[in-house]
């Protein structure tokens, strides 16, 4: 099992899309193992998006992500990073495939509703920034045995 970070950004929160977005992950068979709503401090936003510092869009990104509450989610499942990224869709909602979160709900590249870790390594680093270890729960979903065929994952 792999755990990844998902951030529902200010536009998703302000547009009232949190429930519909979480529903997509749960219907896929993924498990929410951590959740917290918060206002993002500027320093934490800068740390999280440090790889983009110096790029022209960086100041606007920091202003955006700190402008309104976000919902932090820790999502667990087999290949959770890749599965979540596929559900999220391309960065620009206007170009994202229909059926993806951004493709169904978004029109913008900047206001793109959701962040998902891009690798298992990034997920570990990002989860540690946003959650304390004790905030990530380890529990069994009864539905899990109906989501994963054991022959797919020997």
User: Domains of the chain (ranges plus CATH)?
Assistant: 2-131 (3.30.70.141)
Burial class (CB in 10 A: 0-12, 13-18, 19+), 23: exposed
**Global pTM value:** 0.94
The overall average pLDDT reported for the chain is 95
The helices-and-strands tally (H runs, E runs) of the chain is 8, 4
Which one from 48, 52, 115, 153 is the annotated catalytic residue? 115
What is the pLDDT confidence band of residue 59, given thresholds at 50, 70 and 90?
A: very high
66: confidence class by pLDDT, cuts 50, 70, 90: very high
Answer yes or no: 115 catalytic: yes
pLDDT at 154 over 70: no
Q: Which helix (H) or strand (E) holds 32?
A: strand 31-38
According to DSSP, the residues that pair with 46 across neighbouring strands are none
Which segments of 1-149 does DSSP mark as H helices, in order? 10-14, 18-28, 42-48, 58-65, 80-88, 101-105, 120-130, 144-147
pLDDT value for 145: 84
Residue 152 has a pLDDT of 80
Say what the pLDDT of residue 81 is: 98
Average pLDDT estimate for 97-103? 97
């Amino acid at each position: 099992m792999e755990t990844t970070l998902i951030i529902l950004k200010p536009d998703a929160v302000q547009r009232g899309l949190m429930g519909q977005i979480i529903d997509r992950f749960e219907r896929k068979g993924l498990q929410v193992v951590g959740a917290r709503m918060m206002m993002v401090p500027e320093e934490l936003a800068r740390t999280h998006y440090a790889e983009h510092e110096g790029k022209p869009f960086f100041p606007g990104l920091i202003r955006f992500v700190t402008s309104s509450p976000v919902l932090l989610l820790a999502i667990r499942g087999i290949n959770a990073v890749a599965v979540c990224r596929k559900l999220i869709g391309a960065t620009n909602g206007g170009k994202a495939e229909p059926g993806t979160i951004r493709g169904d709900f978004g029109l913008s590249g900047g206001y793109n509703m959701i962040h998902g870790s891009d690798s298992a390594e990034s997920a570990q680093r990002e989860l540690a920034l946003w959650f304390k270890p004790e905030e990530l729960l380890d529990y069994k979903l009864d539905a899990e045995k109906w989501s994963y065929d054991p022959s797919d994952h020997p």
